[in-house]
Amino acid sequence: MTSMYRRQFVMMASMILISFALLGAVFVALSYNYTVGDKRETMDRNALLVAEYVSDMTQRAVVGDVFFDTTSFKASEFQLYIRSSSKVSGSHVIFCLTDGMVLYSSRDGSEDNADYGFIVSDEEALHIAQDPAYSGFTDLSGLLPERRYVAGAPVEITALGRIHTLGYVFVTAEPGSVTEMWSAFSTIFFFAAFIVMCIAFISSSVTSMYITKPLKEMANVAKRFARGEFNVRVEGYEQRYDEIGELAGAFNQMAENLETGEGKRSDFIANISHEMRTPMTTIAGFADGILDGTIPQEKAEGYLKIISQETRRLSRLVRRMLDLSKLESVEAITTQEQFDINELLVRTLVSLEGKISARGLDVDIENIPQKPTHVWGDPDNITQVCYNLLDNAIKHAYDGGKIFLSVEKRGGKAYISVRNEGAAIPAGQLAHLFDRFHKVDLSRGKDPEGVGLGLYIVKTILDNHKEKITVVSESGLTEFTFTMTLA
């Protein structure tokens, strides 16, 4: 398996190499054309200057119908100028007559005239000399050891009213001198490019490691999760505010949720075991006592009633568990419809009239509007919500106390409240009221038949409807308020 670090590094290194290859190709092409072109322009310019100088000297040597005196080319002034031009430009300067005979030459400022008398008969050379706009490569009929770039210019004078071409000036340079500057630039460029690529490769390696390290740690943590270690976290990335830091935060949040879910699962199993064990122990104990005669026959009826109550309680627990299974499944989100929440609340209240009368409670419904309040939702599920809240209020209200019901429209929502007069719920218990199997200690004695799932079912149904429920308990009043979206 190829690691992500290797793929990331190879990708970045490839991009760097391709970028530098393209940049190097462009640099080589542009710098070569610039430096070589500049050198050739200098040679062309020098050829014209030398030709003009020779033409001027020759023009002064014209006497009558004699064009020039060849001895003038041996003058020290002429030779000094040619040598100076050759030395300054680093070029080979050659002057020859129109028939190609070399009269004078200077190699890089040297004083020798070893090429004197050499005949330049190369057609390419003559073409270059006759047309300064033309440039080319030639060895000047073997005068040069190899073909080189040669710049030429004609030497012209005016005599007898006409322009005469007396000879040609050639300027050439050593092959290395033409590309010497370009070679120096290229060496510097490629050396710098090598250093930059080394730094870039090191940076790419560090960056790739910086990116993949947390992913490896998360993979290791995930493996530990798979082994049941839910307390491990990805640490050290709290101060990173990039995508990796965000991923690490989300990963830790997921880990906390998994740990919390595992804790709830363990608590659920413990609670359900406890809730089922208690009635089953009671049923088995009393049944065995009646069968083996430990419980007298005259008391058997009373214990049989207890067995019946515990059996019903166990049945309710199983039924609630089945309801929870349905509510927590995807199928629990049903198609919503419009209905009157006022009518539903009153109808549910009427179904609990027997329990209300048994406790001697008074119900205040003055804050329920007479006009319908239409909301969106599943009427059957919301009926279960209202039933559980009213049943809870009846159980925990003072004997002869009062229950208040209200419906209020506000901000596109209907707020339905159920409030009862009774002992306040401790502040530390409010956050756990909607947990599975949670019972406030005070309620255990008054409601031994409860299983601690009523409010959890309420919360689950409202969550499925994307609605909220709140609870406030103080000064002898406990109020539950849930929302519904107005239709």
Query: Global pTM?
Result: 0.45
Band of residue 443 on the pLDDT scale cut at 50, 70, 90: very low
The span from the first CA to the last CA of the chain, in angstroms, equals 57
Distance in angstroms (rounded) separating the CA atoms of residues 483 and 487: 13
pLDDT digits (tens, 9 = 90+) for 312-371: 878 877 777 776 666 665 455 566 899 999 999 999 998 889 889 999 999 999 899 999
pLDDT digits (tens, 9 = 90+) for 99-151: 888 888 887 655 567 778 888 888 878 788 777 666 678 888 888 888 888 88
Helix ranges (DSSP H) in 227-329:
243-291, 300-327
Q: What is the DSSP string of 338-391?
A: EEEHHHHHHHHHHHTHHHHHHHT-EEEEEES-SS--EEEE-HHHHHHHHHHHHH
**Domains along the chain with CATH numbers:** 4-180 (3.30.450.20), 243-327 (1.10.287.130), 334-485 (3.30.565.10)
Say yes or no to pLDDT of 61 above 50. Answer: yes
pLDDT digits (tens, 9 = 90+) for 355-402: 899 999 999 998 999 999 999 998 988 998 999 899 999 998 999 999
CA angle at 319 for the pair 318 and 323, rounded to the nearest 5°: 115
Q: What pLDDT, on a 0 to 100 scale, did the predictor assign at position 361?
A: 94
The mean predicted confidence, pLDDT, of the chain is 80
